[in-house]
């Protein structure tokens, strides 16, 4: 049984992430979408909220599970006998950081193998940050995120619970 993990901040999950999840789920027996911490990013949603939004968005994919983890990715990979880490690549600009991360992870734990999947061309410009900026500026985010995310973002705004 091949187990893959797709880690990310997912703040919030976008159609670009969903595209990678759908592609990756066809390549393994189990795919764990892992809500992880990127210390460089300040979040709008809590990990539990992000996990719930992902759960809603992937409910039709039977071999996809959701988990949250706060430590080093390689600790999770080793503990759960993960075969491969999946990351999405949009443009060349993603490559340098992803290359560094993959090599660092392999240095930390030699069993950490990273598989890069290309997003579809129509998602190649999409990011969570772009979605948030668009949302704060009253733009229409519907083409870029699953419905549950649009609803959750509106709820946050109405509840005044946005961190920025
Ligand atoms: O969606 P992102 O922000 O590009 O995902 C980056 C993420 C969360 C996968 C990365 O920051 C990560 O692996 N964080 C967990 C902590 C860790 O292992 N850091 C060392 C590798 S950079």
Q: What is the pLDDT of residues 65-119, one digit of tens each?
A: 999 999 999 999 999 999 999 999 998 889 999 999 999 999 999 999 999 999 9
Report d(CA 83, CA 40) in Å as an integer: 27
3-class DSSP assignment, residue 103: helix
Q: Which of 2, 41, 59, 79 is catalytic?
A: 41
Q: Which of 5, 6, 9 to mutate to test the pocket of ligand 1 (most atoms within 8 A of CB)?
A: 9
pLDDT at site 161:
57
Answer yes or no: are the C-beta atoms of 15 and 122 closer than 8 Å.
no
The share of the chain scoring above pLDDT 90, in percent, equals 86
Report d(CA 47, CA 126) in Å as an integer: 21
Report d(CA 46, CA 62) in Å as an integer: 25
CA-wise closest residue to 3 among 30, 35, 34: 30
Q: Which of 36, 87, 128, 132 is catalytic?
A: 128
Q: Which of 37, 40, 98 to mutate to test the pocket of ligand 1 (most atoms within 8 A of CB)?
A: 37
Return mean pLDDT, the chain.
94
Cis omega (within 30 of 0) for bond into 12: yes
């Amino acid at each position: 049984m091949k187990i893959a993990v797709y880690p990310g901040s997912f703040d919030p999950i976008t159609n670009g992430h969903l595209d990678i999840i759908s592609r990756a789920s066809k390549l393994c027996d189990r795919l764990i979408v892992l809500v992880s911490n990127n210390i460089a990013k300040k979040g709008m949603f809590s990990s539990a909220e992000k996990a719930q939004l992902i759960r809603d968005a992937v409910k039709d994919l039977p071999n996809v599970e959701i988990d949250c983890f706060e430590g080093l990715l390689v600790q999770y990979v080793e503990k759960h006998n993960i075969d491969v880490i999946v990351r999405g690549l949009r443009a060349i600009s993603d490559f340098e950081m992803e290359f560094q991360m993959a090599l660092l992870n392999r240095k930390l734990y030699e069993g950490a193998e990273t598989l890069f999947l290309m997003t579809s061309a129509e998602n190649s410009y999409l990011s969570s940050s772009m979605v948030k900026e668009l949302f704060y500026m009253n733009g229409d985010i519907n083409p870029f995120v699953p419905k549950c995310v649009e609803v959750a973002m509106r709820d946050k705004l109405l509840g005044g619970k946005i961190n920025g």
